[in-house]
């Protein structure tokens, strides 16, 4: 049997291309900013995770250029061998201090960070319990761990307790949740998760990829937002969103962190992040620390966008974050509306199953601290016109 026969039967992308509804891979011709040039036309960017707008910050850009010139283009090895720069250790130390943890460890990507943490901590005889709307990298990390995975209904704390009751007393258990959910923009019920974890003797891990720089004191994330920094055992996050770079991190206690460092195959067998990526993440972290008003500004501009949608009768998912999803329900309708918005000058992300439930497709809009009210006015006017006969 031809193992590649499945490729010939995979026709959906070409069908969407023929319908001019294929939504992926639009090419940028400019910097990642509030306004971009994309395929020859100006578009207002409402589809980026560049929450603090730091990808165009000159101070951060210069830090990356300097590192490129001083250390070259790459490290050409893993952190275990020749791939550790003093700057990697500096970034880890400053991350740990910022997040009020004893220890931080840098991974090459955010996706890899979840793979590396979960597959290290959760063993074949352990249990891992996930919110159903957790990121795909968490699910893949659970698969790599060979542990027993249980799932609870999204944000349903009664269901979480039912799953915890299934765990034998002689087995380890880790509860994993997104802090800010990437599609819906809602914030995990971390107080109740931590209460139940304590009741049943489970550990707690928070994926704060969309929380860092967004919520909490000075942008410290979900645990800080709830005042629960001492009750979350492991944070993970990324540099590719608020910190305007590439890579991921784990922040935890010294004993857990040292164990992950020496047992995590995705960490041990991957090349370290490049000097430029490390330097830009470090510069962005320092910039965030020096400018705690940035997350406040981000919250204000996101609230303004929600207000504009309310005024125009556009049905959105309510949250307190810069992720503001718009209901479009049906997959084809969602693709049509995203393309109409794109043609009219606004880039948004269509959200289709399995990233959402059937019949609950979305246009995911997201905002930056550097967006202005006139830009938000222009974008929401366009989107309201595109969606005026929708649902």
Catalytic-residue membership of 262? no
Among the options 210, 336, 337, 371, which is catalytic? 210
Among the options 108, 119, 120, 182, which is catalytic? 182
Beta-carbon neighbour count of residue 390 at 10 Å? Answer: 18
- DSSP secondary structure of 226-262: HT-TTT-SEEEEESSSTTSSS-EEEEE-HHHHHHHHH
Beta-carbon neighbour count of residue 171 at 10 Å? Answer: 13
C-alpha pair distances (Å), 153 with each of 156, 159, 163, 329, 370: 5, 6, 10, 20, 35
* Own/partner pairs, 66-70, CB within 8 angstroms, 24+ separation: 66/279, 67/275, 67/276, 67/278, 67/279, 67/280, 68/275, 68/276, 70/275
Catalytic-residue membership of 182? yes
Dihedral sign, Cα of residue 261, residue 280, residue 217, residue 141: negative
Which pair of tokens denotes residue 362?
A: 């979305």
Short-list 139, 199, 191, 135, CA closest to 163: 199
Catalytic-residue membership of 337? no
Is the Cβ–Cβ distance between 43 and 35 less than 8 Å? yes
Secondary structure E strands in the chain: 35-38, 41-45, 103-107, 127-131, 148-152, 173-178, 203-207, 234-238, 248-252, 323-329, 346-347, 349-351, 361-366
Among the options 88, 101, 241, 337, which is catalytic? 241
Catalytic residues, which ones? 182, 210, 241
């Amino acid at each position: 049997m031809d193992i590649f026969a499945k490729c010939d039967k995979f026709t959906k992308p070409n069908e969407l291309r023929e319908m001019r509804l294929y939504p992926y891979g639009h090419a940028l011709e400019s910097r990642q900013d509030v306004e971009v040039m994309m395929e020859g036309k100006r578009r207002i960017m409402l589809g980026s995770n560049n929450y603090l707008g730091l990808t165009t910050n000159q101070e951060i850009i210069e830090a990356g250029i300097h590192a490129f010139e001083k250390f070259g283009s790459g490290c050409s090895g893993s952190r275990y061998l020749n791939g550790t720069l003093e700057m990697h250790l500096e970034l880890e130390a400053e991350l740990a201090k910022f997040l009020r943890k004893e220890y931080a460890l840098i991974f090459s990507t955010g996706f890899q960070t979840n793979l590396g943490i979960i597959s290290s901590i959760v063993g074949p005889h352990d249990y891992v319990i996930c919110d159903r709307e957790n990121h795909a990298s968490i699910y893949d990390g659970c698969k790599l761990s060979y542990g027993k995975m249980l799932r609870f209904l999204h944000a349903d704390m009664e269901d979480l307790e039912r799953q915890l009751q299934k765990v034998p007393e002689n087995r380890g258990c880790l509860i994993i949740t997104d802090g800010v959910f990437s599609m819906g923009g809602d914030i995990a019920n971390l107080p109740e998760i931590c209460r139940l974890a304590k009741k049943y003797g489970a550990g707690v891990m928070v994926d704060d990829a969309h929380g860092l720089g967004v919520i909490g004191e000075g942008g410290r994330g979900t645990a800080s937002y709830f005042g629960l920094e001492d009750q979350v055992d492991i944070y993970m996050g990324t540099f590719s969103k608020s910190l305007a770079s590439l890579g991921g991190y784990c922040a935890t206690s010294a004993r857990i962190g040292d164990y992950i460092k020496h047992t995590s195959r995705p960490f041990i067998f991957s090349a370290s992040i490049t000097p430029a990526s490390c330097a830009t993440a470090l510069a962005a972290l320092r910039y965030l620390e020096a400018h705690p008003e940035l997350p406040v500004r981000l919250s204000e501009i996101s609230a303004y966008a929600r207000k504009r949608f309310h005024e125009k009768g556009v049905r959105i998912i309510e949250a307190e974050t810069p992720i503001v999803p718009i209901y479009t329900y049906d997959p084809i309708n969602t693709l049509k509306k995203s393309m109409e918005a794109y043609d009219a000058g606004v880039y948004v992300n269509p959200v289709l199953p399995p990233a959402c439930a059937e019949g609950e497709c979305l246009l995911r809009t997201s905002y930056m601290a550097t967006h202005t009210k006139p830009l938000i006015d222009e974008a929401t006017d366009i989107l309201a016109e595109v969606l005026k006969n929708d649902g």
